[in-house]
Structure 1
């Protein structure tokens, strides 16, 4: 079975879309970065280095310093699929991020998004 094409897609190509989606709804790039850092454990400098290297999604999540254990609390539907039912680990991480960005764009408070 071949890998889903998003695994080989550069995270840096999708990142501006996350930021644009947030900014269209009055949120900020720094909030997007905070969400990504919370989820993956990357520092701001490490995140920027990953973007500069054009790291693909699979490597981006595989190399994440510390995936947040609270990410298991992320529930809901993204792209018509319940995130808690996704079996494939890398796809689950990608959809967790998608769900968090959706919540940001919908105006949810950062404390709720970051499962505090």
Structure 2
């Protein structure tokens, strides 16, 4: 259940933040904020389904998925192709998330 929860959380967080970006930076209608708030609430709710003994660990591990998902959003929604530095950073962050998730615990 962890990976689907992370993916749903990423979609909710990115869509919610983009709604605010759209209003503030691109001059979009304030009605976008309603969808943004709902998306951010869905993001927070999705993270409650992550199997982890501590919320902080779940949030930290989610960071790697969020970064990769943000780059995919940039590419698919905003039409900006990630460069090699984006890809390298995403790989490093996913490696860090894997250490958090799969590291041996006492």
Category of TM-score, reference length = shorter chain: under 0.3
Which of 1 and 2 has greater Rg?
2
The two structures have a TM-score, normalised by structure 2, of 0.27
